[in-house]
Amino acid sequence: MNNNTLNYIQVSASLMCIDWLRAEEQVKILNNEKIDMLHIDVIDGKYAADFTMGTSIINCFRDIFHKPFDYHLMVEEPKRLFDTFDIRPGDSFAIHQECCQNLHRDLISLRKMGAKVGAALSPSTNISTLDYVLEDLDFVLLLTVNPGFKGQRILPNAFQRINDLRRIIVERNLDVRIHVDGNVSIENIPNMIKNGADTLISGSSGMFMKDLSLEKSIKHFREAIYRGMHGKS
């Protein structure tokens, strides 16, 4: 791992991938396992061809998950939704560079509302599009699959993109984390970390798996993080 990567790897569990018939039970397990954040995908069917939950459902989980929410807005012109969220200390928002008429303005608006701010990039978007806002970010969310649906295979250039972004952050001496979302599997986690990722979005590929209990999946997930931090495959 690059020496400038933060030593602590954070985990953000994807609410979209939870077993909805056991939602409260599974959120309590996430609390007991001290998962760092709850990842909230908001999709409007325009930028990404799917729909997820609105704020009336999201806010039902505010008082049963005990740590910050990590919002990923896959929506056109996300600023129109900012006021609908119950933003609390430590919450973060990733908004897509591809969806904003003025990304910098929208980031500043979110920060004024008390949130940490990040820019999200789809796999086909060049990292260089963030040159003018990188200093204003707390993190970049790199998608390693195309946005919208869970369970996709990781794209071939994913590890190189993580590495390229980490190199830019180091060269510019910035305190910007790299969040990675998409096929964050037990097999892919070590290479994601070795290339510079320091926050992992855990979904159906690595944590919410049908053939393992959530507790066992979290154990395997953390073992994969350990291998990545210590240079093991």
Distance of alpha carbon 206 from alpha carbon 221, whole angstroms: 6
Structure tokens at 44: 């409007």
Options 91, 106, 181, 198, the catalytic residue: 181
Angle between helix axes 23-32 and 214-229 (nearest 10 degrees) is 40
Using alpha carbons, select from 69, 72, 70, 68 the residue that is nearest to residue 97.
Answer: 72
Distance of alpha carbon 214 from alpha carbon 40, whole angstroms: 18
Annotation says 181 is catalytic: yes
With 0-12 / 13-18 / 19 or more C-beta atoms within 10 angstroms meaning exposed / middle / buried, residue 139 is buried
**Under a CB-based contact definition with an 8 Å cutoff, are residues 206 and 172 in contact?**
no
With 0-12 / 13-18 / 19 or more C-beta atoms within 10 angstroms meaning exposed / middle / buried, residue 134 is middle
Distance of alpha carbon 179 from alpha carbon 25, whole angstroms: 26
Annotation says 41 is catalytic: yes
Residue with the two structure tokens 């740590």: 67
Q: How many residues in total does the chain contain?
A: 233
Using alpha carbons, select from 209, 211, 214, 175 the residue that is nearest to residue 35.
Answer: 214
Beta bridge partners of 181: 143
Options 36, 41, 138, 198, the catalytic residue: 41
Which residues are the active-site residues?
Answer: 41, 181
